[in-house]
Amino acid sequence: MEVRGKFSSVGGDSYQRVSPFAPSYVLALESSCDETSVAVLYEGRDIKCNLISSQVELHRKYGGVVPEVACRRHSEVMNFLLEEAILRAGISWGQIEAVAVTHGPGLIGAVLIGVAAAKALSFALECPLIGVNHLEGHLYSIFLEWPDLVPPVLYLLVSGGHTLLVLMREVGVYKVLGGTRDDAAGEAFDKVAKLLGLGYPGGPLIDNMARRGNPAAVCFPRPMLGRGWEFSFSGLKTAVRNFCAGEAAGISPEDICASFQEAVVDVLVDKTVGAAVSFEVENIAVVGGVACNSRLRCRMAEEARRVGCRVVTPSPSLCTDNAAMIARAGWELARMGVVASPFLDAFPNLPLLERRVPT
């Protein structure tokens, strides 16, 4: 394979440019947080398998992810998942034409497990290795089920670690419009659930409780509403804590959940639809774990319709962390001629590069 050039910037040493190619079978590994996942993707679209080993039970008693425990479990299950993925996909190891792996952002030890396994596989199978930014994986997850979607796309990427508005002008060209100044939206869900004693992870629990509550019961603040494309959720979480410590008598947990969720959703919907209108983009994609939220899906669709935009969201299993999205991103990168260099490394704070395609 002819090497055509390198990238500069954080993590840039991890990539190199080669002649574009379209691998038939991509094997992908994801281990950036508390899910170990291995997928096999055929022709960029057909998910042959997307195995996910969740560590939720393991971390539940701590009320959050314990990095050292997560790393150990990734290393325990990775080899088993790899063998199982090849079996379920019904192919042989020799048919794999590229190995894609998340190399950040995430828990450094956890990411390293995937990177080490992927490097060994690419060496043994003599096929290209592709380093994928986890955030890029979430962005490309949408194309697995919406193959006809053509950029520009305005993304709301909402997960436990990130809350980002990203404009994808064309495949491989991204502009981050804004992120969170403190807590991510999913983190706020998890922390509020913890302080209400609901359990972990908090997002789905609050989503469920809120169905039986009144979203107008408590008027929690809407942080940074109408003020640019940045977010902030830590003050809202503190407002819920203060409310619970003071005036909560007579207000049910269901009402608190619904009111908190409504405040988060108001901010997410207002900024996303506002950005789509400002940048004149018709397609809005909501991706990441919080995109499973029923109220967010419903309100986003309603508000977008009002301004003539359409909203697309992945199925819930492709919203939360999974390797199929990493495989799709890896397939896109191969078609742009971007593969891993021999120096592929793990980066806990890997930023989203603005350009993946050669200028």
Nearer to ligand KG4, 209 or 281 (CB): 209
- Shortest Cβ 291–ligand KG4 spacing (Å): 8
- Shortest Cβ 2–ligand KG4 spacing (Å): 35
Which amino acid, 234?
Answer: S
Site mask, ligand KG4, residues 142-181, x = CB under 6 A?
Answer: -----------------xxx--------------------
Site mask, Zn ion, residues 131-160, x = CB under 5 A?
Answer: ----------------------------x-
Residue 293 engages ligand KG4 in binding (rule: CB under 6 A): yes
**Short-list 35, 75, 50, CA closest to 159:** 35
Residue 131 engages ligand KG4 in binding (rule: CB under 6 A): no
- Shortest Cβ 187–Zn ion spacing (Å): 12
Q: Interaction with ligand KG4 in 17-36: which residues (CB under 6 A)? A: 33
- Shortest Cβ 216–ligand KG4 spacing (Å): 19
Total of chain residues touching ligand KG4, rule CB under 6 A: 19
Which segment (195-203, 211-219, 270-278, 300-308) binds ligand KG4 by CB under 6 A? 195-203
Judged by CB under 6 A, the residue of 30, 136, 183, 190 near ligand KG4 is 190
Judged by CB under 5 A, the residue of 30, 34, 35, 321 near Zn ion is 321
CA-only gyration radius of the chain, Å? 20
Binding partner of residue 207 among ligand KG4, Zn ion, none, CB cut-off 5 to 8 Å per kind = ligand KG4
Which segment (91-99, 172-180, 200-208, 250-258) binds ligand KG4 by CB under 6 A? 200-208
Nearer to ligand KG4, 203 or 337 (CB): 203
Binding partner of residue 202 among ligand KG4, Zn ion, none, CB cut-off 5 to 8 Å per kind = ligand KG4
CA–CA distance, 321 with 289 (Å, rounded to integer): 7
Residue 207 engages ligand KG4 in binding (rule: CB under 6 A): yes
Residue 289 engages ligand KG4 in binding (rule: CB under 6 A): yes
Binding partner of residue 203 among Zn ion, ligand KG4, none, CB cut-off 5 to 8 Å per kind = ligand KG4
Binding partner of residue 262 among ligand KG4, Zn ion, none, CB cut-off 5 to 8 Å per kind = none
Contacts of residue 227, Cβ cutoff 8 Å, sequence gap at least 6: none
Whether the Cβ atoms of residue 281 and residue 167 lie closer than 8 Å to each other = yes
Sheet holding 15-18, edge to edge: 3-6, 15-18, 338-340
CA–CA distance, 205 with 60 (Å, rounded to integer): 13
Binding partner of residue 320 among Zn ion, ligand KG4, none, CB cut-off 5 to 8 Å per kind = ligand KG4
Q: Angle 66-71-73 (CA atoms, 0-180°, nearest 5)?
A: 95
Nearer to ligand KG4, 86 or 139 (CB): 139
Sheet holding 283-287, edge to edge: 173-178, 163-170, 153-158, 283-287, 310-312
Q: Interaction with ligand KG4 in 315-344: which residues (CB under 6 A)? A: 320-321
- Shortest Cβ 61–ligand KG4 spacing (Å): 17
Residue numbers of the site for ligand KG4 (CB under 6 A)? 33, 159-161, 186, 189-190, 201-204, 207, 288-290, 292-293, 320-321
Residue numbers of the site for Zn ion (CB under 5 A)? 159, 321
